[in-house]
Chains A and B, each alone.
Chain A
Amino acid sequence: MTGYAAVVAARFRMLLQYRGAALGGLATQTFFGLVRIMILDGFYRASATPPSLGFPQAVGYVWLGQATLALFPWNTDSEIRDQVRKGTVVYELCRPLDLYGLWYARAIAWRSAPTLLRMIPMFAFAAAVLPALGLGDWGLAPPAGVGAGIAWVAATVGALFLSCALTTLAHVGVLATLGADGVPALMATIASLLGGMVIPLPLFPDWAQGLLAALPFSGALDLPARLYVGHIAAADAVWVLAQQLSWTAILVVLGRWLLARQTRRLVVQGG
């Protein structure tokens, strides 16, 4: 266990160095956040029957999504893709750690360090700068209550474990397809759409709501964000955590099983 903890700690400290990349990402995410909010503003103003998710809640949802984009399971680690393509993944197999655990530990650091770097300036912008510019309607309001705030923090930690299980499963897929672009593209599409990154999930048709909540993707952004804005009562946080942790367990077991099958059949090309 200490081996995996050391991997997380070392990768985490390394990734915290990329402050320039975080700054560039911040500008892009702010821009996309503003455009998304203006589009939603246009739709909300015209609507005769307002949806259950109010406009201020939708605004909060969009900002939380932008702030935790690095946490969201929409991409794969380019270093792992390179390892698979070049075959250097065999070095990882030689280490006295099992490959699934190693990749999961890398994912934890890779998802959490950039999120921490980006989240605080993003919150400062959305919660303080926007209202100061007279755009308070588009700002991020504080959590719906103390309970909601605590529930959001807990659910965001749950989202990290779930997101890393999804990410590692995608890395297993990358290994199975020898680094082809198909798995990353599929992951970006499905997770963004079903996870609330394209539009907030409560805005999808009512008949789809049950299915969307049951799928694992909602646990990565949608459920924590809805706890924050008060669209899900803080008392129901237990159910959110149960959803996240049970999916994490299922996805870890599935990923381990698939990876074990893969490594048995793995042929290393010499050269």
Chain B
Amino acid sequence: MRDALRLYFRYLGISVRAQLQYPGSFAMQAAGQLLVTVIEIVGIVALFDRFGTLRGWTLPQVALLYGVTDITFAIADALARGFSVFSTMVRSGDFDRILLRPRSTILQILGQEITLRRGGRLVQGAAVLGWAAAQGAVAWTPASVAILAAAVVGGACLFMGLFILQATSAFWTVETLEVWNTVTHGGNYASQYPMTIYRRWFRGFFTWVVPLALVSFVPSAAVLGRADASPLAAGLAPLAGVAFLLASLGVWRLGVRRYTSTGS
């Protein structure tokens, strides 16, 4: 295990050095990422300006949800980049090379790239979260900090699990299906707003199938004092994300077993 971690960090070191070889291009890409995500928050601010509240939720409260979701998505997106672009590896037959090496496939694909330019989204999420905090949306106690930290970890695990499932589907379809965008980017978009505004079937899907509500909404609502969940339950709910990641890894192993190379 220690050996595997050492190898993983070697991979990450190489990836980081490679990206910093072109500092100008890197800075522009990170700035571009920041810009692309800023439009979502502009839309939210404009809607609050027009309507005042969202079923009793205020702008700083929704900003907290937005910040937590955006940070978790940025972390998962940066770490699991190798899985998001995995279908090209199946198409080109490059996955064969990974199978030949005496290391776990997951370790090697995670080590393909850590996408630093996703830092732009992270900075934006953190800034929005900071603004929400400055507006007094949250009472900062050790418990609330711990709950939000659990939300970030659980959320990052959940989104990584989704990226792994998306990559696994390439074993069957070769192309990655665009449908996955609904649960990855669409899930991220939906959980920027309180889950309570959605219809029951939609909430059910994002609680019991893809437990996004458990990893980001339940803990955030508890920290905001807007939920009946006890602090302990709110802190434990993000474990659903960890469970989801473990289940995804199981599905991945099934997929690897049925892999047949596209190469000739």
List the interface of chain A (C-beta within 8 A of B): 21, 24-25, 27-28, 31-32, 34-35, 38-39, 41-48, 51, 180-182, 185-186, 188-189, 192-193, 198-199, 203-205
Contact = CB atoms under 8 A, between A and B. Distances in A.
A43 B47 contact: yes
B101 interface: no
A189 B38 contact: yes
Interface in B25-43: 25, 28-29, 32-33, 35-36, 38-40, 42-43
A45 B43 contact: no
A27 B55 CA distance: 28
Contacts of A39: 47, 54, 193, 197
B51 A47 contact: yes
Contact of A198 (B39, B49, B202): B39
B127 to A, nearest CB: 17
Contacts of B186: 28, 31-32, 35
Contacts of B33: 185
Given A42-B193, A192-B39, A198-B43, A181 B32 contact: yes
Contacts of A204: 46, 50
B100 to A, nearest CB: 31
Chain B interface size range: 35 or more
B189 A193 contact: no
B56 A199 contact: no
B182 A28 contact: yes
B50 to A, nearest CB: 5
Closest 10 CB pairs of A and B: A24-B178, A42-B197, A185-B32, A198-B43, A31-B182, A43-B51, A193-B39, A47-B51, A199-B43, A28-B181
A43 to B, nearest CB: 4
Nearest to A28: B181
A32 B47 contact: no
B28 A46 contact: no
A38 B197 contact: yes
B36 A188 contact: yes
Interface in B169-212: 177-179, 181-182, 186, 189-190, 193, 197-199, 202
A215 B178 CA distance: 32
A27 B115 CA distance: 28
